[in-house]
């Protein structure tokens, strides 16, 4: 190998006129260049490397053994240098992110059999030609997020038998062909978030029996079939956020985490065991239907228009550790709501319009450690009681308010509250009186209105700025 190298450099020296050898990195493209990577790299970090699209670079006089990691920073590299893996035969990790990489050329990965991790995110790659990864037999991690990939063919990932983690997030993929992942028998973690996919071919994951994590967030799916993943015994994490579903049914034997926020969901049914469910920012007016609710340990329903919960909707969620009911449009909470939540450690009811509660609602919350209840319409007297008889007595963590002081009557330990204007109605301190209720509704409307006006104001201001620019 070394002899070959020596011959090759000699050949270069003999054939080319001297001016070629002196080319600096910033010189134009389209030539044979020597680019001594040693001059640019120190401790595996290479900076300010410039390689044009048609440059053919010689990186070193001889192979450089012992370099296992290379990271390129502040570099512009249109293509991976031909002899990179011959120059660095021990290379295991290559980071060439944000380097304006435009194209793959074949043969690109010959000699890259030690390469384990390849990070090519945030470049300008438009496609992955057939068989381009031939040679990268042991690649386990491949990141291609933030490129401009539009499609993947059956043979794009040919030869990548060892890949466990693949990210294709933030590209422009519209379609994926059936066979594209079928060689990756060990694939565990696949990220397709932020593309333009509206469907996946049936059977696309049928060879990826070890798939455990799939991210389909922010695509154009309007339906999701759990059938796609029926063969995966260890599938545990699904993210389908930011697709518009309205109605969704998940049917998995056992799912650790399902993330389906920002889907405009109105109805959700979950069969099988699910442990963590993130449903924030949807349009749920009712609780999700989960026959095995007893297995749910974390439930995020924040930013859903649930309104005042009726009946006893949490009675079957007996193993909850974390519950987020922030910004769900609640004015009150039913007295027995948390009766079965004796394990609950974190509860968030912030950003609602709650004025007062029956203090006994907290009796069952024996394990609570974090309780977030700021940004409500608390009555100051009730808030004092809540603090002294529950929050502080049990040394529970809470969060202070950010409500502007001019809108607030008082603060109790940093949480905004209001006194009843009508002292007479103070007698019935069992829960909001009608008048107090009305007051809190009005207060909330004002809050919403103010926010709206602020938003509009920002918009008008921006328009004025734009006008000013034009003038």
Ligand X SMILES: *[C@@H]1O[C@H](CO)[C@@H](O)[C@H](O)[C@H]1NC(C)=O
- Pick 59 or 368: Cβ nearer ligand X: 368
Contacts of residue 309, Cβ cutoff 8 Å, sequence gap at least 6: 287, 330, 333, 334, 337
Question: Quick check: 271 binds ligand X (CB under 6 A)?
Answer: yes
Question: Quick check: 126 binds ligand X (CB under 6 A)?
Answer: no
Separation CA 210–CA 190 (nearest Å): 11
* Residue entry with tokens 């519950």: 323
* Of 52, 14, 7, residue with least CA distance to 33: 52
Question: Quick check: 264 binds ligand X (CB under 6 A)?
Answer: yes
Stretch that binds ligand X, among 53-61, 177-185, 217-225, 422-430 (CB under 6 A): 177-185
What is the per-residue DSSP string for 76-131? EESS--TTHHHHSTT--EEE-TTS------SS-STT-TT--EEE--SS------TT
Q: What is the CA radius of gyration of the chain?
A: 30
Pairing mode of beta strands 32-34, 50-51: unpaired
Contact with ligand X (CB under 6 A): which of 73, 361, 387, 441? 73
Residues 78, 51 contacting (CB under 8 angstroms):
yes
x-or-dash pattern for ligand X, window 363-402, by CB under 6 A?
---------x------------------------------
Question: Quick check: 303 binds ligand X (CB under 6 A)?
Answer: yes
Query: Binding residues for ligand X, how many (CB under 6 A)?
Result: 32
Question: Quick check: 356 binds ligand X (CB under 6 A)?
Answer: no
* Residue entry with tokens 């990790």: 93
Contact with ligand X (CB under 6 A): which of 40, 218, 280, 340? 280
x-or-dash pattern for ligand X, window 84-103, by CB under 6 A?
--------------x-----
Residue 18 sits at φ, ψ, to 5 deg, of: -55, -35
Contacts of residue 142, Cβ cutoff 8 Å, sequence gap at least 6: 117, 118, 120, 160, 163, 165, 166, 167
Separation CA 192–CA 219 (nearest Å): 8
x-or-dash pattern for ligand X, window 31-70, by CB under 6 A?
----------------x-----------------------
x-or-dash pattern for ligand X, window 210-239, by CB under 6 A?
x-------------------x---------
* Of 221, 216, 196, residue with least CA distance to 205: 216
Stretch that binds ligand X, among 211-219, 294-302, 352-360, 463-471 (CB under 6 A): 294-302
DSSP state, residue 147? S
- Pick 229 or 417: Cβ nearer ligand X: 229
DSSP state, residue 384? H
Question: Quick check: 281 binds ligand X (CB under 6 A)?
Answer: yes
Question: Quick check: 175 binds ligand X (CB under 6 A)?
Answer: no
Q: What is the nearest approach in angstroms of ligand X to the Cβ of residue 60? A: 21
Stretch that binds ligand X, among 137-145, 171-179, 405-413, 450-458 (CB under 6 A): 171-179
Q: What is the nearest approach in angstroms of ligand X to the Cβ of residue 262? A: 3
Question: Quick check: 209 binds ligand X (CB under 6 A)?
Answer: yes
Q: Which residues bind ligand X (CB under 6 A)?
A: 47, 73-74, 98, 122, 154, 177-179, 182, 185-186, 209-210, 230, 251, 254, 262, 264, 271, 273, 280-281, 294-295, 302-303, 324, 326, 346, 348, 372
């Amino acid at each position: 190998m070394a002899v070959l190298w020596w011959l090759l450099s000699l050949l270069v020296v003999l054939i080319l006129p001297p001016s070629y050898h002196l080319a600096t990195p910033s010189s134009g493209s389209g030539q044979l260049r020597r680019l001594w990577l040693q001059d640019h790299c120190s401790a595996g970090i290479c900076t300010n490397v410039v390689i044009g699209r048609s440059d053919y670079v010689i990186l070193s006089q001889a192979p450089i053994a012992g370099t296992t990691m290379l990271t390129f920073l502040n570099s512009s590299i249109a293509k991976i240098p031909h002899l990179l893996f011959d120059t660095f035969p021990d290379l295991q990790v290559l980071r060439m992110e944000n380097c304006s990489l435009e194209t793959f050329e074949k043969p690109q990965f010959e000699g890259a059999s030690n390469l384990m991790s390849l990070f090519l995110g945030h470049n300008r790659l438009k496609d992955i030609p057939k068989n381009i990864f031939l040679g990268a037999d042991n690649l386990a991690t491949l990141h291609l997020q933030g490129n401009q990939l539009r499609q993947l063919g059956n043979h794009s990932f040919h030869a990548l038998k060892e890949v466990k983690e693949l990210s294709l997030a933030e590209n422009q993929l519209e379609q994926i062909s059936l066979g594209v992942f079928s060689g990756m028998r060990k694939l565990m973690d696949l990220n397709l978030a932020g593309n333009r996919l509206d469907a996946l071919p049936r059977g696309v994951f049928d060879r990826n029996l070890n798939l455990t994590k799939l991210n389909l967030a922010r695509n154009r799916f309007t339906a999701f079939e759990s059938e796609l993943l029926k063969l995966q015994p260890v599938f545990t994490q699904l993210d389908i956020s930011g697709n518009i579903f309205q109605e969704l049914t998940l049917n998995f034997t056992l799912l650790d985490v399902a993330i389906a926020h920002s889907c405009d969901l109105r109805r959700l049914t979950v069969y099988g065991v699910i442990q963590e469910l993130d449903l924030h920012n949807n349009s749920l007016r009712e609780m999700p239907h989960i026959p095995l609710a007893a297995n749910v340990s974390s439930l995020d329903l924040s930013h859903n228009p649930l309104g005042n919960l009726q009946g006893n909707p949490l009675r079957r969620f007996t193993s909850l550790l974390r519950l987020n009911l922030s910004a769900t449009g609640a004015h009150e909470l039913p007295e027995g709501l948390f009766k079965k939540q004796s394990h609950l450690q974190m509860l968030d009811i912030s950003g609602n319009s709650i004025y007062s509660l029956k203090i006994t609602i907290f009796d069952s919350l024996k394990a609570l450690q974090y309780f977030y209840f700021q940004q409500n319409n608390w009555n100051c007297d009730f808030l004092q009681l809540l603090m002294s008889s529950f929050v502080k007595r049990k040394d529970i963590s809470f969060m202070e308010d950010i409500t502007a002081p001019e809108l607030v009557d008082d603060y109790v330990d940093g949480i905004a509250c209001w006194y009843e204007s009508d002292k007479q109605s103070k007698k019935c301190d069992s829960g909001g009186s009608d008048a107090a209720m009305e007051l809190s509704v009005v207060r909330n409307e004002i809050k919403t209105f103010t926010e709206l006006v602020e938003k509009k104001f920002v918009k008008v201001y921006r328009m004025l700025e734009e006008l000013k620019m034009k003038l």
